[in-house]
Structure 1
């Protein structure tokens, strides 16, 4: 059977390929050409990746620089918060849930302002000049920073206010003359332990002033300092109006006023602003 390719050599000899030979040198030149073309086709990919990386890096840099520049500007554009106005009696209105002002409830003005008013200025000086008596002290007190006496009274060594007292079946022993001022200070702090005005409701408002009224009554039996007597009379009058007021609005107003006065007195005793 005749090979189908046997006639190709005669045909090539009759053309430009006559007696042509494909040597090793020709083969190497062909390979070089192929590699050059392949390299040119593949060069675009790494170049494109490098360009993409540079673009992404520049975008990130622009974002952070813009953020750093814009943040101070945004803060500068925020309007400053206005300071609460102080009323004539040295108090500032309390905000309700951050919106508006509750005209019925007030808070103490800055400590150094109301402290310059009568009778707080005189009462503060009176308490500061008071010293706990040396006689009757026990060697050790079970209370931290406490000074305990034989009659069962314990006073805070810093504020000089009564912090505890022992009770028998007939009640606590009578304080000595030297202890009375410290007992008064402790009773005033105890009277200030009222529920905050904002936490009250009409359903839980009954008899919430019984404790402070009982403490103020006890203080009046021990007190002989006139400025404090005047403060006690005014505070008792306000507390008595809490339960006798004819409306819930009036109840809240008197309760807030009494609460404020007691908190001021507690701050005066404890030295807090």
Structure 2
């Protein structure tokens, strides 16, 4: 009987581990930039989102400790988690960056999203990562930006602490001409977060090629291959819905509802 109970326990453990080895649908609150803090929480609850990555307009790392704890209490009461913050401003001044890590520690965040303009900033950021044991994830924008080329990010990963990783913005990496799945694989086990968006390239009135946000799954991102790579690696981070579109941001409810359907379908295939 004891052996049978042990067997059942091991089976339950295996099932729970399998269940955790999946990505989670989250929210980057840049999507809700026209809302206040309370409206963002209502929006997240409406769409079944538990994990939220905040921008400063909704959760300010420079706010007083009392204000941050007040908002954390509201999040806790509603069963929501501020799992990350970003894209956070960083500085050559380590004391300024320390405030960011103190804020993350206060809020219980294990991850901060960054995109330092000056590569020499990484020296003091790495020291803070080691001191606080809080991860940093490098965010990418498009062609011509500091981290638009995955090779630049891979070089940093090779030289820095393993707690420095990547926030893979699927829309922007695609708009820059790279395959999201191949890029994801090329970062090994250092992808700590994703921005869940889709873009396609359109011609503007003056003939320029411009990346434009679309509904998830209707742009150029190869999501079928990306989800296959995610399953292959048993990646279980957050794919945080984000849009750069002003039109979508005016009322992101339909975008979120359709994105959640797309996410659930592809995650469970």
| TM-score when normalising by structure 2 | 0.26
Structure number with bigger Rg: 1
| TM-score when normalising by structure 1 | 0.25
Hey, which of these two has a bigger chunk of strand by percent?
Answer: 2
